Structure 1
Amino acid sequence: MLDVVAWVHTADRRMLAVRTRGRDLLYLPGGKREPGEGDWTALSREVREELAVDLDRGSFRELGVVHAPAHDQPEHTHVRMVCFTAGFHGRIGPAGEVDECVYVTAGERDLLAPASRAAFDLAAAHGLVDRPSP
């Protein structure tokens, strides 16, 4: 089980996703906690490394937890992803291992890795993005 944190950022009914080097699908900004890190510390560090922006501590809120099969991992590996929303300071852009930042619509949901698809659905349930068509 991979236990990770992710930033759910939306604009104009679309959700921010990133493509890291060598990956075929899009992921949410975030990642694994370092030893001793809490959710806030891990997510703010990961977002700074991946997007070169600083999250706003005062607006940091848990959106929910999703579970899904892990993409590009050994068979039967699953992800537990705790999703958070937060404002930010700076200009979003690819940094570190991230090659591309894109805003995904409901019609582009299939471009996301399984856990990120589940997070998109969570965001839709909270009214942050449009629901995918059946």
Structure 2
Amino acid sequence: MIDTVAWVRIEGGRILCARPRGKGVFYIPGGKREGAETDLQTLVREIEEELTVLLDPETAVHTGTYEAGGPGLPDGAVVRMACYTAEYRGELLPSSEIEEMAWFSYADRERVPPVDQLLFDDLRAAGALR
């Protein structure tokens, strides 16, 4: 099990995605827990590291948890992604570990990993992603 936390930021019917340096695929911003971090501690740390903004943990809302395997993972490995919305302070800018960020619509679904695609499907069904 690969345990991750992701920040769901939607503006104008599009979701924020990021492509790490040296990778060809975009992901929902976030990352893996370090040590005994809580979901929110992981989320705040990862988003500050990746996109240089500070999330407000008091505004965080869990929006769902998704699990999926996928290409490039060891046999039988599954990614679990706990998703949260939250307000932020600062200007969204890719850090040195992020090659680029982009706002994706549902039409971009195939450009993200399988676990992220599950989130795209739910957001589309809820009318949040165009």
TM-score normalised to structure 1 length: 0.90
1:84-123 to structure 2, matched below 5 A, reads: 84-123=84-123
CA distance in 1, matches of 2:122, 2:74: 25
Query: Which secondary structure state, in structure 2, belongs to the residue aligned with residue 48 of structure 1?
Result: helix
Q: Which residue of 2 aligns with 1:38?
A: 38
1:54 lines up with 2:57 in the alignment: no
Deviation at 1:70, TM superposition (A): 4.0
Where do 5+ consecutive residues of structure 1 fail to align?
Answer: none
Where do 5+ consecutive residues of structure 2 fail to align?
Answer: none
Deviation at 1:123, TM superposition (A): 2.4
Deviation at 1:71, TM superposition (A): 4.3
Q: Which residue of 1 aligns with 2:124?
A: 124
Confirm or deny: 8 A CA contact 1:9 1:15 kept in the other structure: yes
Q: Deviations over 1:20-74 (max 9, x none)?
A: 0222211011111111100111000000000000111221000001111144322
* Closer, same or farther: CA 89–58 of 1 in aligned 2, 3 Å: same
Confirm or deny: 8 A CA contact 2:53 2:89 kept in the other structure: yes
Identity %: 37
CA distance in 1, matches of 2:70, 2:5: 14
RMSD of Structure 2 on Structure 1 (CA) = 1.3
Confirm or deny: 8 A CA contact 1:64 1:122 kept in the other structure: no
TM-score normalised to structure 2 length: 0.93
